[in-house]
Chain A
Amino acid sequence: MEKENNELLRTENLTKDFGKLRAVDNLSLSLEKGEIRGLIGPNGSGKTTVVNLITGVYRPTSGGVYFSGRRIDRLSPDNITHEGIMRTFQVARVFADMSVLENMLIPAFTQGTSRREARHRAQELLDFCLLGKLSNEPTRNLSGGQTMLLQIVRGFMRQPLKLYLLDEPFAGVHPAIKDVIINTIQKMNREEGVTFLIVSHELTTIRRLCSRISVLHGGGVISEGTMREVANDPRVIDSYLGG
């Protein structure tokens, strides 16, 4: 009973077909408030599609997505954001013609935060992520890692941020910046209670960050538990080895 009260996100028999291809197959996934969940799986297992379904980018073929007990899979992406869900993209997507600070202000503006408050929080977050000195720099001048960092930190401008879906946040990122990303995730989880669903191929980082891991294969969850548990699951070993 207590577990049910603590549930933040639930997908029920979530299915997504692209023509004859079934990308997500009867997926039932549940996330508790305040957890950092890892979502791993081999290429083509449907991880990004799951993120797209939760954030309204795709409409499910069947099944549903429930957030704090409310069905959200019929909502548009902007309305899902207003529920307190943010996401990042696998290839970092920032507003290229805008400065770092301007990128940060947009999520705050969409929820009605004043310009003064938004600038204050933006500068605080940028300083923490070591991007503070670049706040007036056009984003096209940033390195790949800095762009990824900006994409992630921009999401924290939404308050309250209840669920943050990070799609491959460590891919191709310099180890120093990777550490900053990890520190930021841990800080926001600890201080602001943000729940994370992190899609990643970097198992060592996932092990460092996540208490629980869900393994996706063929569009469905084949294993769930701690890293030790899933690593010893023969179905997981088979899926990674192409079994």
Chain B
Amino acid sequence: MKEISYTKITGFKWYSLSIAALLLLVALLPFSTGQYYLQVFTVAFYYVILASSWNLLAGYTGQFSLAHHAFAAIGGYTSALLVTNFGLPIWLGILAAPLSSALMGFILGMLCLRMRAIYLAIATWAFAESVRITISMTYEITRGDLGLAVPKLFVGKGQGVAYYYLFLGLAAVTVLMIMFIIRSKMGYYLRAIRNDEMVARVMGINTTRWKILAFMLSSGIAGIAGAFYGHYNGLLTPVMIDFNEMAFIVIMVVIGGIRSIAGPLIGAILIELLTETFREFGEIRMVVFALAVIAIARLYNEGAMGTIRQFTQWISRRKQAREGVN
């Protein structure tokens, strides 16, 4: 009989070990990579926040908004203008950002409450365009297309590392918060609303309240991300509200896996890395991403996260079959 001299590692332990190794890798990345990739990851974490918060609204609640990038810009400009025009400390400006974005989210959410699918998408896209044009036109306040110089949060030699950890922390808090929401009673209500709003109402869910709350929450999170991004980048321009930005968020969520916690995280990092790696190919990257989105929507709408889930289930089934034979 073969003697087993090693400790058997169960599936759960493998899972925990993988997560721990990944966290360690992410934590130690600044010490093993150059300034360029540090910046790439910092921006990727910014997109993790946007993609995750959009997934809460569009994925879990079924409100397909195309104004998420505009809420990030509203947050960014709120903080930047308060700091530059009124001399407020940066942290106060950042605190005001989610409030202004959430307020705009509340107004837009109320206006679009009864809209569904394509009508909601068109209305929110029109709102985003209006924000972009307003920022471009109000040159005296926002400096229009020239861009608004924003004071940086960190300066000096170690700023790259500081920003990396800041955005890593923000992304981690956002993902954990959304995970908590989805597992809470609120998460049940949002999923019920997406499934069948009328049935949700007759089950006793105040759908108006929860839909508006989801809109405000996701807008507020985008606003915080936008504010930190402004104080990281040092410059805000209406380019932040180009439709391409919104398209990126949608692509990240769809490729990563809509309606999953880890999907937007994987999607945002993957797409940001691919975008930077293939920068020399210019706009053709967007075409490739768009084709990938069409393929996923048509063939397998659970994205990368769904593939990982299926793969682990396949491993587990194989293991069970082997144990059954033995």
A residues with a Cβ closer than 8 A to B are 55, 57, 76-78, 81-82, 86-87, 89, 93-98, 102, 105-107, 109-111, 154, 158
Given known contacts A78-B207, A109-B185, A97 and B195 CB-to-CB distance under 8 angstroms: yes
Asked if B199 and A109 sit within 8 Å, CB to CB, the answer is no
Asked if B201 and A106 sit within 8 Å, CB to CB, the answer is no
Asked if B192 and A81 sit within 8 Å, CB to CB, the answer is no
Asked if B203 and A110 sit within 8 Å, CB to CB, the answer is yes
Asked if B202 and A95 sit within 8 Å, CB to CB, the answer is no
Given known contacts A110-B203, A110-B205, A158-B204, A97 and B188 CB-to-CB distance under 8 angstroms: no
Q: Which residues of B contact A102 (CB under 8 A)?
A: 188, 191
Q: Could you pull out 19 A-B pairs where Cβ atoms are within 8 angstroms? A: A78-B203, A78-B206, A81-B203, A82-B204, A89-B199, A93-B198, A93-B199, A96-B196, A97-B191, A98-B195, A106-B192, A106-B203, A107-B204, A109-B188, A109-B189, A110-B189, A110-B204, A110-B205, A158-B204
Could you tell me the distance between the alpha carbons of A154 and B189 in the complex, rounded to whole angstroms? 15
| Across the A-B interface, the 10 shortest Cβ-Cβ residue pairs | A110-B204, A81-B204, A95-B195, A77-B201, A109-B185, A93-B199, A107-B203, A78-B201, A77-B202, A106-B203
Q: Which residues of B contact A57 (CB under 8 A)?
A: 198, 202
B residues with a Cβ closer than 8 A to A are 185, 188-189, 191-192, 194-196, 198-207, 259
Could you tell me the distance between the alpha carbons of A148 and B320 in the complex, rounded to whole angstroms? 34
Asked if B204 and A78 sit within 8 Å, CB to CB, the answer is yes
Given known contacts A105-B188, A106-B188, A106-B189, A95 and B199 CB-to-CB distance under 8 angstroms: yes
Nearest to A55 among chain B residues (CB) is B202
Q: Which residues of A contact B188 (CB under 8 A)?
A: 98, 102, 105-106, 109
Nearest to A85 among chain B residues (CB) is B202
Least CB distance, B34 to chain A, in whole angstroms: 43
Least CB distance, A221 to chain B, in whole angstroms: 24
Least CB distance, B83 to chain A, in whole angstroms: 42
Q: Which residues of B contact A87 (CB under 8 A)?
A: 202
Please give 8 more A-B residue pairs, beta carbons under 8 A apart, in addition to A78-B201, A154-B203, A158-B204.
Answer: A77-B201, A78-B203, A81-B203, A82-B204, A97-B195, A97-B259, A98-B195, A110-B203
Asked if A98 and B191 sit within 8 Å, CB to CB, the answer is yes
Nearest to B199 among chain A residues (CB) is A93
Least CB distance, B110 to chain A, in whole angstroms: 16
Nearest to B193 among chain A residues (CB) is A95
8 Å CB contact of A95 from B185, B192, B201, B259 = B192
Asked if A78 and B202 sit within 8 Å, CB to CB, the answer is yes
Could you tell me the distance between the alpha carbons of A102 and B200 in the complex, rounded to whole angstroms? 13
Q: Which residues of A contact B191 (CB under 8 A)?
A: 95, 97-98, 102
Nearest to A87 among chain B residues (CB) is B202
Could you tell me the distance between the alpha carbons of A96 and B191 in the complex, rounded to whole angstroms? 10
Asked if B195 and A111 sit within 8 Å, CB to CB, the answer is no
Least CB distance, B150 to chain A, in whole angstroms: 41
Could you tell me the distance between the alpha carbons of A111 and B203 in the complex, rounded to whole angstroms? 10
Q: Which residues of A contact B192 (CB under 8 A)?
A: 95, 98, 106
